[in-house]
Chains A and B, each alone.
Chain A
Amino acid sequence: MTSVQTFNVALPALPSGWSAEKDFKAVGTLSGATQRNLEAVGPFFLAHARRKRHGRTFSEDERIQAQQNVKKTEEDDLGEISEPEDNMLLAREAKDWKSQDHYQVLGLTKYRWRATPEQIKRAHRKKVLRHHPDKKAALGDRDENDQFFKCIQKAHEVLSDPVKRRQFDSVDEAAEVEPPSKKEASKNFYKLWRKVFISEGRFSNIQPVPELGDENSTQEEVENFYNFWYNFDSWRTFEYLDEDVPDDNESRDQKRHVEKKNANARRKRKTEDTARLRHLVDDCAAGDERIKKFRKAARADKDKKRLEREAEAKRLLEEKEKARQEEEQRKKDAEEAAKAEREQNKKAKEAAKNAAKKNKRVLKGSVKDVNYFDDAPSAAQVDSVLADVDLVISKIDAEELAGLAGRLTAAGKDGAAVKAVYTEEVQRLVGAGKLKEGEAKFFA
């Protein structure tokens, strides 16, 4: 804001004859300006910088700043407290303060545990202004009843002391949010449970409390949420429900007894509360679709893996079997081939044997056919011829035998030719070193 400079000097009177359109006359212009660097310091410079950067004029900038300031105060006013007071409330007796709803007395039921100390202070002030006994007297109210004022004072006493306020908040039933039934939760799970956990979260020593989230929350978020609630660290206490401890020295035993009873009751309530909360979280977890979803996903994942593994095993087994079968087949084939060959060999051998027999018969027959190279062969000659034939046969192999037999067959019944064939053969055998000279007596 620009301050107004005030000059205590008079302006000159308008000279006669001065006139101008709209009473204004531009006479000249300003002489030049020097460029200098401003020091970037101080609130007025910052205002200048703001104007320059946003291209605002003085009045615009002032208006915008003023608007911002107004907005701030409005936001402050938003927390203004005004709730109707019913007659039941106004008729309360201060002595029943234990059962009184302090937030209701101060008109803060909208906020309850969320009310800031500042709000409580202002609410109290407002109530006091309205219900102060002096004010009532000034209004001509003859009624001496200041019970409600005392209630207000008591409420303020409790709520302005952080310890007492926690004690009251711990047992503030009006702030409790009942967990939804299964049927309700099935329709509107997140909305209903969220409220419950926000309400329960006020007891947490650890702030901020993780949110319930929604169906799109990640597994980590959900796990984090349930871990938090299963390990909930609560400051909830139950001192507020204590029985009054008699405050006279007379009955010390009685006092101790009550104190003990209170301590036990508190412990019991705390345990119950912990159990209740656990149960509540269990219920929520049981109805939580996300957990099921994640579990299903995990299972599907696992199944997938298992199936893959099984398929792989099966495949391996099959391959092995196949290999084994192939191997068997191969063996079998080889065996069969060997057998066939053996049989063939046998047959061939037999054939050869038969052939050899036949040829031997041819050999022996040939000498017989030519009547042992004599018309009336002597027994000795027959023997010597046969002995020689046998000798040839024993010294000769199958092929030569066949050849010899052929030649002998060709010689037929011609004794000389047969003898020549034999002689040639013996000579060949002698030449080949298979027969000694002179060993064959007849065919020498």
Chain B
Amino acid sequence: MSSETNGAAERFAIGISFGNSSSSIARLNPEGKAEVIANEEGDRQIPTALSYIDGEEYHGTQAKAQLIRNSQNTVAYFRDYLGKDFKSIDATPCHNSAHPQQHEDTVAFTIRDTTSETPSTVTVSEIATRHLRRLKQSASDYLGKEVNAAVITVPTDFNDAQREALIASANAAGLEVLQLIHEPVAAVLAYDARPEAVVTDKLTVVADLGGTRSDASVIACRGGMYTILATAHDYELGGATLDKIVIDHFAKEFIKKHKTDPRENARGLAKLKLEGEATKRALSLGTNATLSIESLTDGIDYGSTINRTRYELLSGKVFAQFTGLIEQVVKKAGLDVLDIDEVIFAGGTSHTPKIAQLARNIFSEKTAILAPSTFTAAINPSELAPRGAAIQASLIQEFDKEDIEQSIHPVVTATPHLQNAIGVEVTSGDAVDFKALLHVETALPARRLAQFAAPKEGGDVLIRVCEGAREIKVTKPEPKPKEEKTEADEDDSDFSDSDDEEEETREIVWKTEKPIAELAVKGVKAGSKVELMIHVDADLGLQITAREVGGQSAVRGAVEAPKA
């Protein structure tokens, strides 16, 4: 990148994912790989919780454990309250910890955070500052160098007030916020920054299934640039919903044995919640998980096991909600599941194997489902956001503040996107087919290079550049329904597909809509290739160049921009 070293060089930036239930910190290691940093307790997913006993501050897992004994002085799930007024917040997640209260025009918590007996009122911004300060400290300790800047991920529905509040909190914690980036985009970036990844044009669905809320978004990746096409949020659905199922299951079992409901006792419920969550996590990895709690209620020790099948049966409805959210967002973007090239599962709940398997069934077999249970090389879903943030941090940490501001200014980000795909007509056998070079929603200006085979016998070829439209062709089941494949993609016919009882086959068919230009490349040798370059300006003007690979002369032409 740029070699400026004035002032900006002293920056030492990390990526922070500041979640409602847990946060993570990451930084690019010297090999250029994003690495999630463990805090002093060894946690990579640090619970977003702070707890106070006698003026001493506990953070992360330690604070979360305090939810049982010291719930009144423990603050958790506060991220979504940042920058909001009391009327518009949902206080349900805080049922079991310090309750949010109205304080002037923000939200605050009344906790005993000092040695004195009288509780003090701490605003959510101050809590966030303390949390970020602890994260910063953990990162500084791990890296052995003072961290002073960060890229922080935020949900796509964070409004300006929330962003400002977050930036203010981070600044108060001694962190310069280089940029706030959207969580789903960070996840895509984390995948695309893998060394083996190739930049392709694709449509990605990011399912961010968190602890207390779930978000899904459709992102168009065009030449490495990302555009969010649609988002969907469910503020009630999350890991906590699944925890509840596990808790209810064990509670019922307990009632059967001991005739008391452990959920009626606040401490019992807190214990069940903590252990239930751990059990649910264990079920994502193994097929069996145990739960054992000492003195759950009335001094009774409780221990039991649950297997994955049982869990999946119980959670069937909730799982359907997750997949429903994904389907909903695809629909919202005006797309079909067939259009989706990739589904990225992010967030802690994405570890649950069944959700990814259900998603597998929704999408076609050429869609890659990037979740631990369906894709062996998948990145830990919990680490996607911090990694993406760390990658972005490394990219911009040497920039001047002004440079960053200018780069993320709406003047730069607001760009025209193609309405129709641009491609070339080709012959496959006898039929005339369409090959898209620039897909729909490609940010302009854009440039694409492509090579086509010449006809076997060589000679003169015609390149007809035109706009194309995709249509979904529905065919009733034939004896051999799975044969046609339009795109020459890698063949990964999944055997699970044959189990599906689909009545019809749906496929994408491209149709040429509107011819744009015609070019002739003459005297092409047999077996050689023709290279075509299309450059589309921001005003929709085109420059087209075609030539034989290795050839001297090129055919060049420009198509003027349409009159407004």
Contact = CB atoms under 8 A, between A and B. Distances in A.
Interface in B417-444: 417-420, 422, 424-428, 432-433, 435, 437, 441, 443-444
B8 interface: no
Given A23-B521, A44-B199, 17 more contacts: A2-B223, A5-B448, A7-B435, A12-B425, A25-B557, A27-B516, A31-B420, A31-B514, A34-B417, A35-B416, A40-B412, A41-B181, A42-B395, A46-B407, A48-B415, A52-B411, A58-B535
Q: How large is the interface on B (under 10, 10 to 19, 20 to 34, 35 or more residues)?
A: 35 or more
9 contacts: A4-B451, A7-B452, A12-B425, A12-B432, A24-B555, A30-B559, A36-B443, A39-B181, A45-B225
A78 interface: no
B419 to A, nearest CB: 5
Interface in A12-66: 12-15, 18, 20, 22-46, 48-53, 57-58
A28 B182 CA distance: 38
B531 A4 contact: yes
A154 B494 CA distance: 64
B135 interface: no
B560 to A, nearest CB: 7
B517 A26 contact: yes
Nearest to A50: B407
B179 A7 contact: no
B377 to A, nearest CB: 20
Nearest to B418: A33
Nearest to A29: B562
Contact of B413 (A6, A23, A37, A68): A37
A66 to B, nearest CB: 14
B205 to A, nearest CB: 15
Interface stretch (B168-176, B241-249, B268-276, B461-469): B461-469
Contact of A10 (B189, B455, B522, B557): B455
Contact of B462 (A9, A15, A29): A15
A37 B408 CA distance: 10
A256 interface: no
A49 B407 contact: yes
A371 to B, nearest CB: 136
Nearest to A72: B3
A13 B453 contact: no
Nearest to B542: A30
Interface in B220-236: 223-229
Nearest to B396: A46
Contacts of B463: 11
A3 interface: yes
Q: Name the residue in A26, A32, A39, A46 with the highest tally of chain B Cβ atoms < 10 Å from its Cβ.
A: A39
A8 interface: yes
B542 to A, nearest CB: 7
Contact of B426 (A4, A7, A38, A72): A7
A22 B227 contact: no
B237 interface: no
A148 to B, nearest CB: 37
B278 interface: no
B562 A30 contact: yes
Nearest to B392: A41
Nearest to A38: B413
Query: Which of B392, B450, B453, B520 is packed against the most chain A CB atoms within 10 Å?
Result: B520
Contacts of B517: 24-28
B412 A49 contact: yes
Contacts of B219: 39
Contacts of B556: 22, 24
A54 to B, nearest CB: 10
Contacts of A22: 555-557
A28 B514 contact: yes
Contacts of B459: 13-14
Contact of A28 (B410, B416, B515, B520): B515
B192 A31 contact: no
Contacts of B413: 37-40
Given A25-B517, A35-B416, A12 B395 contact: no
Given A29-B516, A35-B417, A44 B406 contact: no
Contact of B520 (A14, A39, A51): A14
Contacts of B531: 4
B450 A7 contact: yes
Contacts of B93: none
A34 B557 contact: no
Nearest to A49: B407
B559 A11 contact: no
A53 B462 CA distance: 37
B240 interface: no
B530 interface: yes
B91 interface: no
Nearest to B530: A11
Given A10-B455, A24-B519, A44-B223, A3 B462 contact: no
A7 B435 CA distance: 8
Interface string A53-94: 100011000000000100010000000000000000000000
Contacts of A45: 224-226
A27 B226 contact: no
B414 interface: yes
B428 A9 contact: yes
Contacts of A32: 419, 540, 562
A10 B420 contact: no
A11 B199 contact: no
Nearest to B535: A58
B10 interface: no
B420 A29 contact: no
Contacts of B395: 42-43, 46
A63 to B, nearest CB: 14
Nearest to A21: B557
Nearest to A48: B225
Contacts of B444: 33
B274 to A, nearest CB: 35
Nearest to B228: A39
Nearest to A13: B455
A58 B445 contact: yes
A9 B3 contact: no
A11 B454 contact: yes
In order of increasing CB-CB distance, the 4 nearest A-B pairs are: A44-B224, A24-B557, A33-B416, A14-B460
A15 B455 CA distance: 13
B547 to A, nearest CB: 11
Contacts of B143: none
Contacts of B391: 42
B19 interface: no
B508 to A, nearest CB: 16
Contacts of A7: 426, 435, 450-453, 488
Contacts of B437: 5
A72 B2 CA distance: 10
Contacts of A39: 181-182, 185, 219, 225-228, 413
Nearest to B518: A25
Contacts of B462: 11-15, 18
B456 interface: yes
Contacts of B464: 12
A43 B560 CA distance: 30
B31 to A, nearest CB: 17
Nearest to B561: A29
Nearest to A15: B462
Contact of A30 (B422, B445, B452, B558): B422
A42 B419 contact: no
